Structure 1
């Protein structure tokens, strides 16, 4: 499957998760989605509870060995770059899903947060060496207010 697009889709949602953490997201998170709501996408969940963390999830895109990169505005270096390991990805009924947690202790946490707060758009690319690619842009307008 080859997925390439410039569809502008963004979603800022406050999510309340009851009970124990589900998919590594604690009680309250601000979420940014790049991609299609029911298709290939990448979601950044900024956990507002302690300990602070960012959970990055992909759906229907990404397998072990896939690279995810996030560039904010016209930056020359990515705010976030990660190569998914085998333990971070799995296959289910709707295709592959990958998840990585960026704890507040990781320098990438502060870089992602700062650039998302001050940026206008984020370009999210998930690529697994040419067999599958998602290239989406999401608006960061209003993101700072969502994190309060």
Structure 2
């Protein structure tokens, strides 16, 4: 089994925080979304090209997030993303957010996505996309064509 984790850095800006300087809970999901986009980019995939070439996109169907320690204004964070499942029309990521300064785990999430067509109906992940992601899948037994 190979292991591939993409790490994406982010700085917490004032706009990411509540009035107490703590990252607003929904913004962790935004950080994770950006990190998943960078994960796909590292696999040679661009979301806009997937949509224009194959007529599909990915929609979040489930987000299970666990908040452990708050991030604060001006901290540097690392968002780690792992692709842990790819089946039919579904893919799942495990993501973790760490504070760069001391490596403390702040937030972790399991995010599930469905491949859908422009009309909103579910579609199998295109073969070319599956092939690009296959080497980035951390649990080979989860892969099925």
TM-score, normalised relative to structure 2: 0.30
Of structures 1 and 2, the larger Rg is shown by 2
More helix as a share of residues? 2
Q: Which has the higher contact order (CA 8 A, sep 6+)?
A: 2
More strand as a share of residues? 1
